[in-house]
Structure formats: C-alpha cells, structure tokens
Structure 1
Amino acid sequence: MVAFKGVCTKPFWRAVSAEFLATLIFVLLSLGSTISWPASEGSASPVNLVLISLCFGLSIATMVQCFGHISGGHLNPAVTVAMVVTRKLSLAKATFYLSAQCLGAIAGAGILYLVTPNVLGVNSNITVGHALVVETVITFELIFTVFATCDPKRTDQNGSAGLAIGLSVAIGHFFAVPYTGASMNPARSFGPAVITNSWDNHWVYWVAPLLGGVLAAALYEYLFCPNPVTKKPRGETLSKDALRVPGVTHSIIPLNPPSL
C-alpha cells in the first residue's frame, strides 16, 4: 500500500525512536518540575508557576532542537494529528508516531513515579466544559506556532523555531496551570494516567488538544499560509527541504522522517 511506503526503512524507525526518546525526556523533566517538595531550612522554596512554565517550555525547545532533524520533533499527538489532517504525514506513519509518543510518555512518567507520583487533573472549582475550552485554546496557540514558525514558504524568519515553540508552551502553562494543569499534549497526560491509574476527566486531555490542533492547522494551512496549497494527493509527505529551522543552515526539521 502507498500509505505504508517507507515504513520499513531505517530512517523512519530512527524517527520513531527519536519521538519515543524525546517524549520520554520531556515528560520526565517537565513533570518533575511540578513536584512540591516540603520546604525546610536550607532548602529551595516550593515549586511555583513560573518554574513549571519555564521548565515545560524550555524542555520542549531543547527536544525540538535535538530531535527535530530526525523526526520533525512532534513530541505531541496533537501535532502529529494536525500534520495528518493537512496531508503532511500519512496516517500509517502517524500511527507509529502516536504509539512512540504515548509509550515514551508512559516510560517517562514511570521513571518519575519511582521517586514520587504526580497527578494531572482538572481543577475541582471549574466545570469540565471550562477545562475543555481552556485546553483547546492553549493547544491551538501551540500548534499555530508550530505551523507558523516552521513554514518553509516564509522568508522573514531569523529566529529559532524550537525556541518559539518552547515559549508558546511556557505561555500556555502560565495561563492554564491553575485551571487544568496545562496539558496541551495528550501523551503528556496519558503517561501519568497509566502509571497512577487516574482517569478522571482524562478524555478532556485528548479531545481538547486534538481539536485545538486540528483547528489551528486548518486555519493556518488554508488561510494564513503564504501561497497555500489547497489540493494535495492524500497521504503526501513533504520533501526533504520542508520546515527548515530558521537561522540553522545545516539542520532540517521535516514534518516526517527524511528520505521517506
């Protein structure tokens, strides 16, 4: 089948492995920043919103820079699904990406749980509907940033796409941590849920990010994208020069693994 073309190649499995490892590191380090250690004499003060937000944002920025040229640096099912919807990645390949991301999140959360557990949940003072809107909005902001900063048609960029994406994650956390814990990433929520067996309102952390991601991808791709291509063969993937990282001449961040 055409959809499975390239799945059995070494570059593709390098990309899948990169998604697994990058998501594992992201979940381990970022969720670790949310742990509130009891304050004691001579110890650091308890974790705060600024620390959490910066840790999530900077960890994403770092992982995108480290693994972007291998797998595209998705690290997030919302990003992967957005690429499928806009026909930048085949459904078959996306399935492997989604699996790697979720398994990486479980592994990262499991390692963290060996030290101390952490729970992600909706604030009991707000409704599930409010939580759904909050997660949709912050994921929309993230995915729109991904598409806008990694657009190969843009010629006005001189900064770092990875840094911009990381900062968009930090912004989302500044706003949404008090409401929902600021997931923005189904895999990031799925891993801890499996390890702690906590599934209360878990569907919110899948439906809202995927909805926000698809809306952002569609809006940018078909409205804001310079010279948008509105008709592509189904399952078509980008060429090797897709999504160059601004300011880095030797690196390429494709939306799917290179040479596929």
Structure 2
Amino acid sequence: MASEFKKMAFWRAVVAEFFAMSLFIFISIGCALGFQFPVSANKTTTPVQDNVKVSLAFGLSIATMAQSVGHISGAHLNPAVTLGLLLSCQISILRAVMYTIAQCLGAVVATAILSGITSSLPNNSLGLNALAEGVNSGQGLGIEIIATLQLVLCVLATTDRRRTDVSGSAPLAIGLSVALGHLLAIDYTGCGINPARSFGSAVVVGDFKNHWIFWVGPILGGVSAALVYDFILAPRSCDVTDRMKVWTSGQVEEYDLDADDSRVEMKPK
C-alpha cells in the first residue's frame, strides 16, 4: 500500500473522484430540485417533476463524468461500485477507502452549494432519500439491493478487460444502468443506489431517518454483483495470494482465458 500511496497518479485519481462526484451531485440533484421552483420575474412555475427527467439527469450526468475522468480514476463515483471492483480484485483496499472518502466529501460539498443556491425553494429536502408512504424498511432494502446489483453488474461487465466483444460506449451503458435503477427505485425510496449521494443530502439536511437502508442496500447489491459475476457468470481461478497482492499493492494482473473449462486463470503475461 505504501508504494501506491506515494504515487502522484494515485492522488490525481482520488482528486478526480472528488471533483467528478461534486459535479455529478450538483447537476443531477440540481435537475431534480427544479420542480415548482418560483420564478418571481414572470410569476410562473415549472411543471411538476417526473421520474423520467430525474432518471435521465442522473444517468446522463454519470455517463458524462465517466467519459471525462474514467481514464484517470476509473470514474467509480459510487461507494457500491468501488466495493464491487474491490471484491473483483481490480483495485487495492487503500484505493477503495480513499475513493469512498472522496466520493462522500464531494457529495457533501456539492449538496451544501446547492443548499445555498436553492434556499428559496419551499420544503427543500435537497434530494433526501426516504421511504415512500406504505413502503417498509424491508421492501425499501430489497429495492435498493436489486437496483444496485444491476448497476454494479453492468460496471463489471463493461469494464472487464478480458472481453473482446464490447462495442459502443461503456460510460453510456453505465449511465443508462443508473437511469434504469432510478426508474425502478425512485417511487419507493427516492433511489439510494449511491450511498455517497444519500450521505451528502442527509448531512446537509440533518436527517438520517432510515439512512442505514441507503448504505446496507447498495453494499449488499454491490457484493452480490461481484460474487455473481466473478464466481458464476465469468469465474476466475486465482489463489488467495494473487488476490491479496491486488488488494495490498493495487497491481492488477492480466487474465488469460482457459479454453478447456471456460474459466479464467489469473496469469501474468
């Protein structure tokens, strides 16, 4: 870990996560807060918010940020995605911790700025996630797990360096997955598939009611996606030593496909 800690590229990646997360939160939640916002100059208000607009705002902003900083940090922009990539042995533990801290700080900073800009918005919750009326904690948790699972599964599949059949835009595919997750979960929980995003709103508003759901749900979804992809859908054969090397040093070995049993062997080329 010490060698990675001393590298300038590592810290540039951490800063990229903070900066991109801040822009993502500002743009996406800013779009969601636009409903019924009073315009005093002409005494008009915008139409009531719809789920499609909010879902597209989150999806397109993630796609934009992924395209912008993906080559620097991988553009995780979500602790659940970071956890999934950690369990998939693509990043070190140190990088995962620093990315998560940067993501949470970026979310808090961007939400705080939005709080000042939208201070005249009545009943402004700054995109705070909460269970909808009639939805209990168990149901909300299940929705968050499924919505996050499909997102992390998409990230793992589109960024898998062993694949040669991937065409098109990976950032766009991930952005559409984010939009899909919002279309599924927004009516139940407000969609908390990004724990850092939920954390930023909770900190600035000062409301942590049922906040655990928006951490436990995405974490379980990310873990499930990593286990399903790495051990069932596209299994890798590697020993504990190989995995520990990645988690401690961050050096990811290249993978070769073993044609005999369609399993992937971890072998340095």
Q: Aligned equivalents of 2:133 and 2:245: distance in 1?
A: 42
- Unpaired segments of 5 or more residues in structure 2? 119-123, 256-269
Q: Aligned equivalents of 1:54 and 1:240: distance in 2?
A: 36
Q: Aligned equivalents of 2:108 and 2:138: distance in 1?
A: 27
Query: 1:1-260, aligned counterparts within 5 Å?
Result: 3-35=1-33, 36-38=35-37, 43-116=45-118, 117=124, 118=126, 119-225=128-234, 228-231=236-239, 232-236=242-246, 237-239=250-252
Contact 1:33 1:47 (C-alpha < 8 Å) held by counterparts: no
The percentage of aligned residue pairs carrying the same residue is 41
Aligned partner of 1:258 in structure 2 is none
Contact 2:18 2:106 (C-alpha < 8 Å) held by counterparts: yes
Which of the pair has more CA radius of gyration?
2
The amino acid that maps onto 2:50 is: N
Runs (4+) off by over 6 Å: none
Q: Aligned equivalents of 2:251 and 2:47: distance in 1?
A: 47
- Unpaired segments of 5 or more residues in structure 1? 243-260
Q: Taking structure 2 as the reference length, what is the TM-score of the superposition?
A: 0.84
Q: Aligned equivalents of 1:88 and 1:123: distance in 2?
A: 36
Q: Aligned equivalents of 2:167 and 2:7: distance in 1?
A: 33
Q: Aligned equivalents of 1:238 and 1:177: distance in 2?
A: 38
Q: Aligned equivalents of 1:241 and 1:72: distance in 2?
A: 17
Q: Aligned equivalents of 2:19 and 2:109: distance in 1?
A: 9
Q: Taking structure 1 as the reference length, what is the TM-score of the superposition?
A: 0.86
The amino acid that maps onto 1:114 is: G
Q: Aligned equivalents of 2:81 and 2:2: distance in 1?
A: 20
Q: Aligned equivalents of 2:139 and 2:104: distance in 1?
A: 25
Q: Aligned equivalents of 2:12 and 2:194: distance in 1?
A: 22
Q: Aligned equivalents of 2:94 and 2:185: distance in 1?
A: 33
Contact 1:140 1:215 (C-alpha < 8 Å) held by counterparts: yes
Query: 1:240/1:159 Cα in 2 relative to 1: closer, same or farther (>3 Å)?
Result: farther
Superposed CA RMSD in Å reads 1.9
Q: Aligned pair count?
A: 239
Q: C-alpha displacement at 1:42, in angstroms?
A: 5.6
Contact 1:4 1:93 (C-alpha < 8 Å) held by counterparts: no
Contact 2:90 2:252 (C-alpha < 8 Å) held by counterparts: no
